[in-house]
Structure 1
Amino acid sequence: MRRIRAAVTGAVTLSLVLTAAACGGGTSGGSGSNSQPKTLTYWASNQGSSIEVDKKVLQPELDQFERETGIKVKLEVVPWSDLLNRILTATTSGQGPDVLNIGNTWSASLQSTGALLPWDDAAFAKIGGKDRFVDSALGSTGAPGQDPAAVPLYSMAYALYYNKKMFKDAGVEKPPATWDELAATGKLLSKDGKWAIGVEGSNLSNNIHQVFVLGKQRGADFFTADGKADFTSDGAVAAVKQYVDLMAAHKIVAPGNAEYAQNQSLSDFAKDKTAMVLWQTPSQTFASQGMSEEEWGVAPAPVPSGAPGQGTSVNSMVAGINMAVFKNTKNLDGATKFVKFMTSDEEQKTLNKAYGSVPPVKTAQADPAFDTPSLKVIRDTLATSASALPQVPEESQFETVVGTAVKELFADAAAGRPVTTESVKAALDKAQQQMPKK
């Protein structure tokens, strides 16, 4: 998923107003091959620095699809803060778009609603086959043992980005490879109104992404093998405390970051106020802040040993965007053609270049444009040291309740209230009580 883009905020306030004309289920036309509607509705996630940027990226491609097929695509770019709630409401009401983007971490949750088209071998065959996609991307398309609920569209992973000027001014020669190094380096960088690293404490999904990785580094998954919530294990508690302690104990994060939501840490990074950020797709998002590629560097996200890999050396979740089709679309043939178009080699190159992400399609990845230093780190991370978030039906609730717990703990840290192992465990226990009982 992106920023987060990774950032899926998603407080559970289900609200959606859709007219019949805006719904996949409300378009006119029969189900016969000659009476398929000549329009599709498409909810795209906000991948660019603004919704307007997304429209400029996507509309020419949608126009090309219409020229090739005669099918017009009605585009709506949905902000991450609204996307999950919009989708959940659509799955309940049966009134949604024909095609939509979903954060890949939600795949199993949305799959469990039964509202999305399953991508069995026959469906994949219509878009060129499942083997076109890289394994790490396919691993975040739904629950294990079930047909995927979506098709990979954009792939991303976290890396550590650093402001070269701030490092030089502080006499720091290289980016930290371990968390201990980051804390020590952070002391050198956090002075004179400047801070070592930015967080987005009010960005629920970003919170989840970071504490999930820290949990993996401590052998904790936040869910048991049989899918039960396990938020209060020693590893999970320590992971959350470690993340919040960047502000609470090490004091290398500005207290104001407790209130930051999607993308708000970027401005500080570009304006030489914050020296490092954990991010996914830098080229487009940093450029939107007026930052040239010469001004920032990249390194793998830290791990305790300094050597990223599998197991306790995981340093990113498998981030990305999937493309799904609502099962009740009245234009299944057109929706399938649209997914095939968007996952074609040419479109994969065009779109992922525009967004600074990596194509999940193997043949598109071979383009030299995806061999830049930053994208090489992301590709290596996805191949060797990233782990998919739990593919369980309750994953979206996990993002909401634990993401909110972390947000509240950051608020405590910003206000100078103590953040202790006990207070972290209490916050996570409260979150676990809000999960569905199994």
Structure 2
Amino acid sequence: MRRFRTAAAAALTTALTVALATGCGGGTTTGGGASNSKPKELTYWASNQGSSLEHDKKVLGPELEKFEKRTGIKVKLEVIPWSNLLDRILAAASSGEGPDVLNIGNTWSSSLQKSGALLPLDDEALAKTGGKKRFSPSAFAATGQRGETPVAVPLYSLTYALYYHKKRFEQAGIDGPPKTWKELVAAGKKLTGDGRYGLAVEGGDPVENSHHAFVFAKQHGSDFFDAKGNPTFDSPGNVKAVKQYVDFVAGDRIAAKGNAEYAARQSVRDFAKGKAGMLLWQAARSQLLANGMKDGEWGVAPVPVRSASDGGQRAVNSMVAGINLAVFKDTDNRDGALEFVKFMTSTAEQKKLNDTYGSISPVLRAQQAPPRDEDEKVMRAVLADSSAPLPQVPDESKFETLVGTAMKELFADAAAGRSVTEESVRQRLGEAQQKMRK
């Protein structure tokens, strides 16, 4: 998923419970499931993928007009920032007032399936979208709870990568991108000084924090849930993982204290302006170009791993990220919504949209084309060889919010000059674990 940002920790469980009790979905109908009472209209909630909401409207507008000309169905578009998207979806699930089709972060699929808000895509429904076999198995695996009927199909696939500023690296005498975290910290210290820093992070973004916590924990041989789905947030490996990430500000000091409040792509802007020499991000190319960089000014490499002597699952350096496309259960244009899903995941549209946004197409035929640039080449390799899915549990989105918020508080401690220790990290994660169990 890309940039999942929300402060809905307290409201999340309540909203899902209400949705379960009411059985509501989207559209304007109030019961009886999906219908076709408005066959010539669709409302589409798109997540913010480009450099701005207006950029997305310019990208998607012509494609929606193309769909209307083919089908006679007019699509009303609303692009929603990630800071509001989950809250909007949960409110729609509980009220019954929502879109017909919407983008969701792929890690939300299990949680939203639990709410009952999304249309289950059984074999008949999937056939109307073009069929399951068109999609990459790894991407399709994140479309709902294991063993259950999927509630979405993949739209954009993503992985994290390390972006590095070539000019800054040359000026600092650094030969190439770091391959281990020890090398990254060493490079970061060379790049830090005179008001500039080695790395930009977004410590004020809970869900961005949780993504890195997951990857760092994997490299420490740890998970945030046990085999039965019980939270293990404050286990030793998770504590070390979170401290390692927060230490970019607290201990290593290769990221600015102000990064503790960063969210909404502020780290991307700092990197583009040369204020930071490195960036851990998903499909940054379009955003870097929008912020004034030119092709060739940055390099891209896999996210570093721990040194060979450190142990853990060293090979995992990204979550399986991406955006899914779903239909609200109570849409009043079920057939049109499924036709729209088929259109958006067609090979031609996939190539156009993923090339524009710098993401990877989850459609197998679209993947047959050579990588368009080094960014996609790296992401394809990471997705195939060294990524792992986030916990496939019904309350996954709650995990992201609770752990990410605990990390946000730890970053705030670091920025204020308070010591961040393993004990303080364990305490914050323990508090998050208690909230997860409620």
Q: What amino acid sits opposite 2:5 in the alignment?
A: V
Q: Aligned equivalents of 1:363 and 1:398: distance in 2?
A: 34
Give the alignment partner of residue 238 of structure 1, picking from 207, 221, 240: 240
- 2:86 aligned residue: 84
- 2:19 aligned residue: none
Distance 1:306 1:342, change over 3 A: farther
Q: CA deviation at 1:31?
A: 7.7
- 2:290 aligned residue: 288
Distance 1:350 1:306, change over 3 A: farther
Q: What amino acid sits opposite 2:58 in the alignment?
A: K
Mapping of residues 179-258 of structure 1, within 5 Å: 179-258=181-260
Q: Is 1:38 aligned with 2:40?
A: yes
Residue deviations 1:249-283, cap 9 Å, x none? 11101000001012001121111110000011122
Q: Aligned equivalents of 2:308 and 2:314: distance in 1?
A: 11
Please, which runs of 5 or more residues in structure 1 have no aligned partner?
17-22
Q: Aligned equivalents of 2:263 and 2:35: distance in 1?
A: 46
Q: Aligned equivalents of 2:177 and 2:222: distance in 1?
A: 26
Distance 1:140 1:149, change over 3 A: same
- 1:424 aligned residue: 425
Q: What amino acid sits opposite 2:186 in the alignment?
A: A
Q: CA deviation at 1:88?
A: 1.0
Q: Aligned equivalents of 1:141 and 1:155: distance in 2?
A: 12
Q: Aligned equivalents of 1:311 and 1:173: distance in 2?
A: 27
Contact 2:9 2:402 in 1 (8 A): no
Q: What amino acid sits opposite 2:220 in the alignment?
A: R
Q: CA RMSD in A?
A: 2.0
Q: What amino acid sits opposite 1:413 in the alignment?
A: A
Mapping of residues 8-47 of structure 1, within 5 Å: 8-12=5-9, 24-26=27-29, 36-47=38-49
Contact 1:200 1:257 in 2 (8 A): yes
Residue deviations 1:32-64, cap 9 Å, x none? 86x543101111000011000000000100011
Q: Is 1:394 aligned with 2:391?
A: no
Q: CA deviation at 1:306?
A: 7.1
Please, which runs of 5 or more residues in structure 2 have no aligned partner?
16-25
Q: Aligned equivalents of 2:377 and 2:208: distance in 1?
A: 22
Q: CA deviation at 1:214?
A: 0.3
Give the alignment partner of residue 358 of structure 1, picking from 335, 357, 360: 360
Q: Aligned equivalents of 2:70 and 2:112: distance in 1?
A: 31
Q: Aligned equivalents of 2:62 and 2:238: distance in 1?
A: 45
Q: Is 1:107 aligned with 2:109?
A: yes
Q: CA deviation at 1:293?
A: 1.4
Q: CA deviation at 1:245?
A: 0.7
Q: CA deviation at 1:7?
A: 3.5
Residue deviations 1:102-122, cap 9 Å, x none? 001111010111111112222
Distance 1:72 1:436, change over 3 A: farther
Q: What amino acid sits opposite 1:25 in the alignment?
A: T
Q: What amino acid sits opposite 2:405 in the alignment?
A: T
Q: CA deviation at 1:13?
A: 7.2
Q: Aligned equivalents of 2:71 and 2:308: distance in 1?
A: 51
Q: Aligned equivalents of 1:194 and 1:31: distance in 2?
A: 54
Residue deviations 1:115-160, cap 9 Å, x none? 1111222222222211111112112111111111210000000000
- 1:414 aligned residue: 415
Q: Is 1:333 aligned with 2:325?
A: no
Matched residue SS, 1:429: helix
Contact 1:405 1:428 in 2 (8 A): yes
Contact 1:8 1:203 in 2 (8 A): yes
- 2:22 aligned residue: none
